[in-house]
């Protein structure tokens, strides 16, 4: 509609980064949308709540909703754990969320063969913390040594990774959030919010299978693929077009 205000896009980052990882997408969207890209709790400039030792996807969705400051309906774009938070927010706040773009959602409950890898990652995590503390575990995560707990994390550019000592606390608070998230297949199938599930040509196998299986179950969803590299960093222009596609489909 001529003269209509641009849509608002809420961007939710993955673990071990900050809202700054959306800067390329923000630039690519430019006049097409108003982007809100907050630091999630414990990352960047958003101090973790007191006693922040564990969080849930529902709690993260509540934090995300509060970042909107009474803005109207939004399209939510999330990466990694942020994608799962976006999906949960669409269930919890259906009048707020009009569309979602889910980048590499790490829902490994759809990937039975990931179970053994998750167990191995937990062992690596214990050994790493014992030898070097939580900071060393954050380094291991960003180096891609936790292939099920942090698939593809090694693709996060160094300049966009959050390596502050406090960031390790946020990482540990989040590690169990996605595996513990519960929405039944029936709930997913009944989803009424339009969604695009986005992979890159080089997304890790676990993430590719998780996305493919989710797309078979999630109502009103489509699976899309960008060129190699993190879609919201290396292929921000492609991703921006997908975000605009979702937004314009709702106009």
Give the model confidence (pLDDT) of 145-172 as tens digits: 999 999 999 999 999 999 999 999 999 9
List C-alpha distances in Å: 133 to 104, 121, 125, 139, 166.
29, 16, 10, 10, 12
Q: At what angle do helices 81-92 and 57-66 cross, to 10 degrees?
A: 70
Give the model confidence (pLDDT) of 175-212 as tens digits: 999 999 999 999 999 999 999 999 999 999 999 999 99
pLDDT at 72: 80
Of 64, 72, 75, 73, whose CA–CA distance to 13 is shortest? 64
- Domain range for 36: 8-249
β-sheet bridge partners, residue 55: none
Of 101, 211, 207, whose CA–CA distance to 154 is shortest? 207
pLDDT, averaged per 10 consecutive residues of the chain (251 residues), comes to: 77 98 97 95 95 97 91 94 98 96 97 94 97 97 96 97 96 97 97 97 97 98 98 98 92 65
Q: Is residue 1 part of a domain?
A: no
First-to-last CA distance in the chain?
8
Q: Is residue 3 part of a domain?
A: no
Q: Are 83 and 181 in contact (CB under 8 A)?
A: no
pLDDT at 71: 83
For residue 186, what are its two tokens? 């029936």
Of 162, 212, 164, 218, whose CA–CA distance to 189 is shortest? 218
List C-alpha distances in Å: 141 to 8, 165, 188, 220, 235.
32, 14, 29, 33, 23
- Total tally of structural domains belonging to the chain: 1
β-sheet bridge partners, residue 225: 199
- What is the Cα–Cα distance from 84 to 104, expressed in whole angstroms? 9
Is residue 182 packed enough to be buried (19+ CB in 10 Å), middle (13-18) or exposed (0-12)? Answer: exposed
CATH of the domain at 23: 3.40.50.1820
Q: Is residue 26 part of a domain?
A: yes
Q: Is residue 160 part of a domain?
A: yes
- For residue 1, the tally of other CB atoms under 10 A from its CB is 5
For residue 171, what are its two tokens? 């990482």
Q: Is residue 2 part of a domain?
A: no
Helix (H, G, I), strand (E, B) or coil at 44: coil
């Amino acid at each position: 509609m001529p003269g209509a205000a641009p849509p608002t896009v809420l961007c939710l980052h993955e673990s071990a980064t900050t809202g700054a990882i959306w800067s390329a997408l923000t630039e690519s969207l430019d006049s097409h949308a108003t982007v809100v890209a907050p630091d999630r709790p414990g990352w960047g400039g958003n101090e973790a709540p007191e006693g922040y030792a564990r969080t849930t996807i529902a709690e993260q969705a509540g934090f995300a909703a509060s970042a909107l400051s009474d803005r109207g309906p939004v399209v939510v774009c999330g990466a990694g754990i942020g994608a799962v938070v976006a999906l949960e927010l669409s269930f919890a706040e259906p009048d707020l969320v009009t569309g979602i773009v889910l980048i590499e959602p790490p829902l490994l409950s759809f990937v039975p063969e990931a179970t053994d890898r998750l167990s191995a990652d937990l062992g690596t995590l214990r050994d790493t913390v014992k030898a070097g503390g939580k900071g060393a575990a954050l380094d291991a995560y960003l180096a891609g040594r936790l292939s099920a707990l942090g698939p593809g994390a090694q693709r996060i550019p160094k300049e966009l990774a959050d390596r502050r000592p406090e960031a390790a606390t946020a990482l540990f608070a989040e590690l169990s959030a996605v595996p513990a998230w519960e929405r039944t297949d029936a709930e997913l199938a009944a989803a009424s919010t339009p969604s695009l599930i986005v992979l890159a040509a080089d997304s890790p196998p676990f993430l590719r299978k998780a996305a493919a299986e989710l797309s078979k179950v999630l109502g009103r969803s489509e699976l899309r693929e960008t060129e190699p590299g993190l879609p919201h960093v290396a292929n921000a222009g492609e991703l921006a077009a997908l975000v605009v596609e979702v937004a314009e489909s709702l106009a």
